[in-house]
Amino acid sequence: MTDEPDDSDGPAVSGVVRSLARRARELADASAEPIGESSATPEPIGESSATPERSADSALPPAEPVERADEYGVYATPVEAASASDGPLSDLTVVVKDNVAVRGVTHRLGTAGLAWEPDRDATVVQRLREAGAALRGTTRMDAFAMGATGESCAAGRTENPVADGHVPGGSSSGSAAAVAAGEADAALGTDTGGSVRVPAALCGLVGIKPTYDRVPRTGVADLAPTLDHVGVLAPDAETVTRVLTTVSGGDPRRPESVAAVSLDTVPTVAPETLRLAVPEPFLTAAEPAVADHVETLLDTLRADGVTTEEVAFPEHEHAELVNQLHTLPEFAAGFDAGPPVGVGAHERALRETVAAYPPSTLPERLRGLLAIGRGLAYQEPDAYLAAWQFRERVIDRSCALLADADALLTPTTPMPAPTFGAVGDDDDTPYRVSDLLVNTAPFDLTGQPAVTVPAGRVDGRPVGLQLVTPAGADERALAVARAVCDTVA
C-alpha cells in the first residue's frame, strides 16, 4: 500500500498537481450560484416490470481460450464458451472488454504483465451466457482503460474496420471494432469518460452508457468507481436494447445495486412528439465540418416534426477537467488499495493482483497519470472535494434542461476518427485525449443515460449524435435513439 505519492517523478508532476488543485478550488467557488431546482423525474415509458429473479451462481463451465484469425486486432483472448441452449439472446454472438471477468481467461487489462484469473464470470457475463448468447472472447482495450484511441494496448493497437488508418476510439476499442468488423453481434464495454460512446461513434455503431449502476459492475475491474458504467455496443438500437435488457437490473451479490431494475418495454416514439434541447457549447466544440453536418441533421429532424431548442450549458467548458479530477485520484487510490475490506473474494483477487503489479512496468503515460493521481489524492485531497462541488453543478444544469425536453442532443465527438498517432497529451499532436472526450465526459459525471447513434459520415469517416435523458430513463433514451436513427439514416 502506498501512503503518499512517490516524489521520484519530480517537480514537474508536483507543479501539475498544484495547478489542477488550484483550478478545482476555483471551480468550486464558481459553483456557489444556484442554477434552479429540478429533479427531472422522467415520465413512465412502457409497462413497468419488476426485476426478475436472478441466480447468484451459474452451472456453466469456464470458457476455453482458442486460436482465431484476428484481422483488426480486436481480441485479448478469443474463446469458446458454452451457453444456455435457448434464451432471448440465443441468436447473438457477443464479446466483452478485457476488464470484464470471464472464468477460464487470464485478463491483462491492456497491459503486458498483469495476470488476473477470476474464479467466476462477471454478473453481466453470467447473464449473457444464461440468456443463450454465444461468447466469442474478451477484447483489447487501452491499458487500464486509461485511453481514448485504442493505441495503448500492450498486445497491439486495434484497427478501425470502417476507417482504414484511423483510430477506432477507446478505451473499449476491441469491443467496437469487433462489432464493426462482424466478429460479434454485440459487445460490452466500460465508460468512465466516454469509452463506450467514443469508439461506437468512430466505428459507426450504436452505443449506450446506461444510468449509473443500472448494469451491475460485479466482476468488472474499476478505473474510477464513481464514474464507471458498463455499456453496450451494437450495429442498431434494437440489438442494444435486447442486450441491455438482459444485463441490467440489481445484483444479489451487490446489495447497493438491488434497487436497480431491468429495462422496461421501449416503445416507438413519433418524431412530432419529441422535444430536443441542443446545448450550444457542445456544438461549438465540434470541428466546423462536424458542426455543419450536425446542423444539417437538425434541419432534417425539424422537417420531420421534431422540436429543437438551442440552450446554454456553461459548465461544459470545465466538465472534462472535472472528470479527470475524479478519475485520476480514484485510479490512484484503487492502484494503491490497502486491505481489501468491503469486497468479496472475487474483487479481492483483482485488488491483490493490481497491488502486486509494479508501477515501474507501466507505460510512461500511465506512470505520469498515476503520479498525478497520487499527488491529488495525498497532497491535495481538497481538490477532489472541490471537483465534487462542480460535479453537482453539472448535474443540476443537465437536470434543469431535461425538465423541459425529452433529451439533450449533441455531437458525440467533436471530430471523426483521427489518424493513428494524432492524439496525445500535449501540444505536439493535433489532438489531445481530452478533445475526444469533451462532449461525453460530462454525462459520466451526471450518471445519466447517454446513447450515441450513427449519423452519417464526415470526410468519409463515421460521426455520431449523442442523446441524453434523465437518470433512470434509459427506456426514453433508447426510444429517442430509435426515432432519431429512423429520421437521419
Q: Which active-site residues does the annotation give?
A: 97, 171, 195
How far, in Å, are 100, 227, 253, 358 from residue 346 at the CA level? 12, 21, 10, 21
Give the strand pairing for 206-209 and 229-234.
antiparallel
Which residues on adjacent β-strands are paired with residue 348?
none
| Distance between CA atoms of residues 350 and 137, nearest Å | 19
**CB atoms closer than 10 angstroms to residue 324:** 23
Q: CA-based diameter of the chain, in Å?
A: 60
* HEC-encoded secondary structure of the chain: CCCCCCHHHHHHHHHHHHHHHHHHHHHHHHCCCCCCCCCCCCCCCCCCCCCCCCCCCCCCCCCEECCCCCCCCCEEEEEECCCCCCCCCCCCEEEEECCECCCCCCECCCCCCCCECCCCCCHHHHHHHHCCCEEEEEECCCHHHCCCCCCCCCCCCCCCCCCCCECCCCCCHHHHHHHHCCCCCEEEEEECCCCCHHHHHHCCCEEEECCCCCCCCCCECCCCCCCCEEEEEECCHHHHHHHHHHHCCCCCCCHHHCCCCCCCCCCCCCHHHCEEEEEHHHHHCCCHHHHHHHHHHHHHHHHCCCEEEEECCCCHHHHHHHHHHHHHHHHHHHHCCCCCCCCCHHHHHHHHHHHCCCHHHCCHHHHHHHHHHHHHHHHCHHHHHHHHHHHHHHHHHHHHHHCCCCEEEEECCCCCCCECCCEECCCCCCEEHHHHHCCCCHHHHHCCCEEEEEEEEECCEEEEEEEECCCCCHHHHHHHHHHHHHHHC
Burial code (b: 16+ CB inside 10 Å, e: under 16) for 35-74 equals beebebebeebeeeeeeeebeeebebebbebeeeebebbb
Cell numbers at 110, concatenated: 491492456
